[in-house]
Amino acid sequence: MDASKFLSCFLLVCFLCMVCNNGFVKASHKVHPELQSMNAVEVKQLHRTGFHFQPPKHWINDPNGPMYYKGIYHLFYQYNPKGAVWGNIVWAHSVSKDMINWEPLDPAIYPTKPFDINGCWSGSATILPGEKPIILYTGIDPQSRQVQNQAVPADYSDPYLREWVKPDNNPIIVPVEGMNASAFRDPTTAWWSNGHWKLVVGSKRKHRGMAYLYRSRDFVHWVKAQHPLHSSANTGMWECPDFYPVSSSGKSGLETSVLGQNVKHVLKVSLDLTRYEYYTLGTYDHRSDRYVPDNTSADGWSGLRYDYGNFYASKTFFDAGKNRRILWGWANESDTPKNDTAKGWAGIQLIPRTVWLDTSGKQLLQWPIAELETLRGDKVQISNQQIKQGDHFEIKGITAAQADVDVTFRLSSLDTAEQFDPSWVDAQALCGQKGSTVQGGIGPFGLLTLASENLEEYTPVFFRVFKATEGHVVLMCSDARSSSLRREVYKPSFAGFVNVDLADGKLSLRSLIDHSVVESFGAGGKTCITSRVYPTLAVFQDAHLYAFNNGLETVTVENLNAWSMKSAQIG
Strands across the sheet containing 527-532: 376-387, 555-565, 402-411, 506-514, 517-522, 527-532
164 within 8 A of 142, measured Cβ to Cβ: no
In three-state secondary structure terms, 373 is helix
Distance between CA atoms of residues 71 and 315, nearest Å = 20
Peptide bond into 444 cis (omega under 30): yes
The amino acid present at 472, given as its one-letter code, is H
C-alpha closest to that of 224 among 169, 292, 289, 316: 289
How many C-alpha atoms does 514 have within 13 Å on its Cβ side? 28
In DSSP terms, which residues pair with 197 in a beta bridge? 192, 216
Q: Terminus-to-terminus CA distance in the chain, angstroms?
A: 27
Distance between CA atoms of residues 157 and 150, nearest Å = 19
Distance between CA atoms of residues 98 and 328, nearest Å = 14
Active site residues: 62
Other beta carbons less than 10 A from residue 363's beta carbon: 17
Which residues fall within 8 angstroms of residue 307, CB to CB, at 6 or more apart? 277, 329, 528, 529, 530
411 within 8 A of 506, measured Cβ to Cβ: yes
Q: Residue 2 gets which letter from DSSP?
A: -
